[in-house]
Structure 1
Amino acid sequence: MLTPYLLRAPAPTADGLRLFCFHHAGGSAAAFATWQRGLGPRAEVLPVQLPGREGRLSEPRATDMTRLVDELVRELGDLFRPPFAFYGHSMGALLAYAVAQRLRDRGAALPTLLAVGAYPAPDRPGLMTDVPRMAADDLAALLVRIGGMSEMLLDYPEWRDAAIDLVRDDLRVCHSYRHVPDAPLPTPITAFVGDRDPLMTPDDATPWAGHTTSGFELQPIPGGHFFLRDSAPVLLGALRRSLAAAGARRGVAHAAPGERD
């Protein structure tokens, strides 16, 4: 039976890699709509759809990281069979890391690669922590400025407010996260950061290196906070290479290392 957290059921025979993708705050699984074509047949792209958006619009949105991780592991745990990997963007990066931590704590299989984009390391201050105190107009202006909301929505107050409410709830998930120093994950981590991201710098992403014992790579990508949209070919090319390198460490052939952007 298909879980509501996935748009479609995974292929019944998973000889290749499953790449679970976690979207940003205010976003949806649609952020990864072109990734299957971009990554090719060696990886099965499985965007994770959180409640309260698109086809799950009528469902209550998550606002607590621990509860959301519990739900994701319960719903998707049987599908986390090697080889698999995680990519998370912004809020999704922190969520992917928290899910990997939970799997490790349960003695379950871990992802071949944890790829995180546009979010500081979990022991660093999170993003947009002042949002709970921001007026709707100010938050809307900020979202437009960083590329997280279309300027057209400003002309439609009802839609604008709905988008703002979604962002506020998603950020509650991030802000509910409390980092507890723990052993690093035995999983390689690649951290992607936009070279013009107004919310963070490479220095905020570099400490991700302390959360793995299996290799770390910092990958600057042209663009701002939403480089996954603005520089998709560059990002997907870099991700293919990271997946290939991680697979080679474990003897898993799931990405073509000779592929070019």
Structure 2
Amino acid sequence: MFGITRSLAAPWWTGEPAPLAERTLLCLPYAGGGPQTYRRWGELLGPSVEVLAMTPPGRGRRYGEEPCRDLPSLLHPLADALPGVLHRPYVLFGHSLGATVAFELCLEIRRRGLPMPQGLVVSGRQAPDLPWRFRQVSGLPADEFTEALRDLGGTPEAVLAQPELMSLLMPALRADFAIVESYRHRAEPPLDVPILALAGTEDDRASADHMAGWAARTTASFALHPVPGDHFFVDAQAVAVTKLVSAFL
């Protein structure tokens, strides 16, 4: 079971205890996602890595909480919970929206003078200074919003086809897309943190060309690797992704 590791860090961070771990991997989910994407990663990465995943408000065991609709309301309490998990060297991993959150969390960590991560993995997300190229969907009527999710992929058809279930999930989904659509990068000095960028070979939302600009966000090393698949390769290619992450760690 992918449960709560430390009550001090709950409700933000969940994962299996890893007493022999040498480092921690903090994972940030894509829009509409949660810790389930990273459920197998501890097994794939081995006992030397403790895998903790974020559960945002409005998701999973936090379903009754109000979802965050802008980045600051998500980022600040998330950073407040970090000292509860920073007991060993760590790396941040984020996919899509999670990559933006991971990057901005690095900047917030630097502002607060907390221990910096040993690395940042950004997956399936265009460089932060690029303008959002896609239509705004967070405020669409329910049927149009559902169709937009269907076009994007990543949400099972069995879920999309159930209006009652979608009505329960929609507030958190809309909130995540509102964060994506409202995000604007503010120029700050680059990080002194190695960055690994992962781009899906069939991902038209974050191609390798759109991700190359992440190199400008660090004064340390940068590498860009292709991964077979579309925007949700992080789910379909868990073995390939964790191999790249393991080599980076």
Q: Judge same fold: TM > 0.5, yes or no.
A: yes
CA distance in 1, matches of 2:57, 2:20: 26
Amino acid at match of 2:23: L
Bigger drift between 1-10 and 112-121 goes to 1-10
1:4 alignment partner, SS class: coil
Measured after TM superposition, the shift of residue 79 of structure 1 is: 2.2
The yes-or-no answer on 1:164 pairing with 2:170 is yes
Paired with 1:218 and 1:122, the residues of 2 have a C-alpha distance of 15
Q: Kindly provide the amino acid, as one letter, of the partner of residue 147 in structure 1.
A: G
Q: Determine the structure 1 residue equivalent to 2:12.
A: 5
Q: What is the match of residue 136 of structure 1?
A: 142
Match of 1:44 among 47, 50, 61: 50
The answer to whether structure 1 residue 212 and structure 2 residue 218 are counterparts is yes
Count of aligned pairs? 242
Which residue of 154, 177, 180 corresponds with 2:186?
Answer: 180
- Report the aligned-residue RMSD: 1.9
Q: How does 1:51-90 map to 2 (within 5 A)?
A: 51-90=57-96
Alignment of 1:244-255 (within 5 A): none
Q: Mean alpha-carbon deviation: is it higher for 90-99 or for 146-155? A: 146-155
In 2, Cα distance between equivalents of 1:216 and 1:145: 32
Distance 1:154 1:103, change over 3 A: closer
Judge which range, 62-71 or 95-104, deviates more.
Answer: 62-71
TM-score (norm 1): 0.86
**TM-score, normalised on structure 2?**
0.90
| Unmatched 5+ stretches in structure 1 | 244-261
Tell me which of 194, 197, 203 is aligned to 2:203: 197
Q: How far did 1:51 drift?
A: 1.1
Whether the aligned pair in 1 keeps the contact of 2:42 and 2:51 (CA below 8 Å) is: yes
Work out the CA distance in 2 between the residues paired with 1:127 and 1:151.
25
Q: Distance in 2 between matches of 1:226 and 1:59?
A: 26
Q: Does 1:221 align with 2:216?
A: no
Cα distance in 2 for partners of 1:32, 1:18 equals: 13
Deviation at 1:198, TM superposition (A): 3.2
1:100-146 residue CA offsets vs partner (Å, 9 max, x unmatched): 00111222211111001111111112475511353433332232233
- C-alpha change, 1:14 and 1:76, in structure 2 (3 Å) is farther
Shift of 1:176: 3.5
Contact 1:82 1:111 in 2 (8 A): no
Query: What does residue range 72-151 of structure 1 map to in structure 2 within 5 Å?
Result: 72-126=78-132, 128-151=134-157
Question: Structure 1 pair 127/221, CA: closer, same or farther in 2 (3 Å)?
Answer: farther
Q: Is the 8 Å Cα contact of residues 191 and 219 (structure 1) preserved in structure 2?
A: yes
SS at match of 1:217: strand
Deviations 1:142-187 (A, max 9, x none): 3223322111223311112333332210122233333111110000
User: Sequence identity, in percent?
Assistant: 33
Q: Determine if contact 1:146/1:224 at 8 Å carries over to the other structure.
A: no
